[in-house]
Structure formats: C-alpha cells, structure tokens
C-alpha cells in the first residue's frame, strides 16, 4: 500500500470509486483501493509514484474544486510495516537519508486502533536523527500513520500531504 485516504464516515464506497477513477485517469488501471475496518479510512496501492499522485490530485482540486467530492486527505506512504516500535524505529532510520544535513524535521503520528505509545515512538525515532527539530516550519515531516497492526511511514515535505478541504479554502481566499 502506498496511499492512505480519509473521507467522511459512511462515504467509503463513494470515495473508493472516486479514487479508482482518478488513478485510472492518471494511467493506473490496476490500482487496488481497500476500505479498512476503520470508519473513514481507505488504503490504496498504485504503481504510480504516490507523491506525484498527490500533486496531480492537488492540481485537479485547484483547477476544478468540484471534481474531488469524497477524498478529504490523501497521504503518500513510502513503507508499510508491522506496528511494532522496533520496526518503526528501524524503518525511519532507513528512510532518514531523505532529510538533508541542514534540514529541520518534525515527527507526526496518526494513530488508530493501536495501544502503542506516541511518546515512546517519538523519543526512539528522534534519538536516531541528528537534525534540528522544528515543530512550526519543518523542512521535512516524518509521518507515522498507525492503522491497527500496520503502519505507514513517509518522510515528506508538508506540501506532499493533501487536504482537499484546505486546498479548496485557499482558492476562495
């Protein structure tokens, strides 16, 4: 899986259809979109670059705000692993080369159906990274999305995560 999508509760089937159509339009007719057992959360597997997909969807929202009705947030995922603190720690360490020497970072955790301690994850992950932390204006975000026994991890620029609502609001301002 390389995308996590959020939507309004009980609109998962419509969101699934919308996303399949979008990915098909972008050239992936074999994408797999799954409705999770968590209300308002879907995951997708696409052969396309997930960061590129998010960028193209952002352009769609800016051009035709009405074209995206159900997808609320779309998050690209670089690695999907088991929800174990050691696995998360190791994966972030493997991906941390994406944070350049002079760049700042922050750790963001989204947690659903999990008893893992966010505090413990943050302290273990932060110990592995030598860069400075910036909570307000980080160059990179270490995103840890825990969905029950699976966790998606990405190191992204803030602009790589799409909130369709915020993007639509920015048009009208």
Q: φ, ψ for residue 118 (rounded to 5)?
A: -60, -40
Q: What pTM did the predictor assign?
A: 0.91
Structure tokens at 33: 């979109």
Q: Is the pLDDT of residue 171 over 90?
A: no
* Beta-carbon count within 10 A of 163 CB: 17
Q: What are φ and ψ of residue 59, in 5° steps?
A: -60, -40
Question: Is pLDDT at 136 greater than 80 in this prediction?
Answer: yes
Encode pLDDT of 58-80 as tens digits: 999 999 999 999 999 999 999 99
Q: Is 44 exposed, middle or buried (0-12, 13-18, 19+ CB in 10 A)?
A: buried
Beta strand ranges found along the chain (DSSP E): 3-6, 32-35, 41-45, 73-76, 79-82, 105-112, 140-147, 150-156, 162-163
Interstrand relation of 105-112 and 140-147 (parallel, antiparallel or unpaired) = parallel
Domains, the chain, with CATH or none: 3-76 (3.30.70), 79-156 (3.30.2130.30)
pLDDT of residue 142: 96
């Amino acid at each position: 899986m390389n995308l996590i999508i959020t939507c309004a509760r009980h609109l998962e089937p419509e969101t699934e259809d919308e996303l399949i159509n979008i990915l098909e339009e972008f050239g992936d007719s074999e994408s797999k979109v799954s409705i999770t057992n968590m209300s308002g959360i879907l995951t997708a597997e696409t052969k396309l670059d997930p960061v590129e997909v998010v960028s193209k969807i952002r352009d769609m929202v800016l051009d035709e705000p009405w074209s995206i009705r159900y997808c609320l947030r779309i998050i690209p995922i670089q690695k999907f692993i088991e929800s174990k603190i050691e696995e998360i720690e190791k994966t972030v360490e493997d991906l941390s080369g994406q944070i350049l020497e002079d760049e700042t970072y922050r750790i963001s955790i989204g947690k659903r159906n999990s008893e893992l301690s966010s505090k413990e994850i943050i302290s273990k992950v932060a110990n592995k990274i030598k860069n400075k932390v910036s909570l307000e204006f980080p160059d990179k975000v270490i995103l840890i999305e825990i969905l029950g026994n699976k966790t998606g991890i990405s190191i992204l620029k803030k602009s790589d995560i799409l909130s369709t609502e915020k993007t639509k609001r920015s048009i009208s301002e």
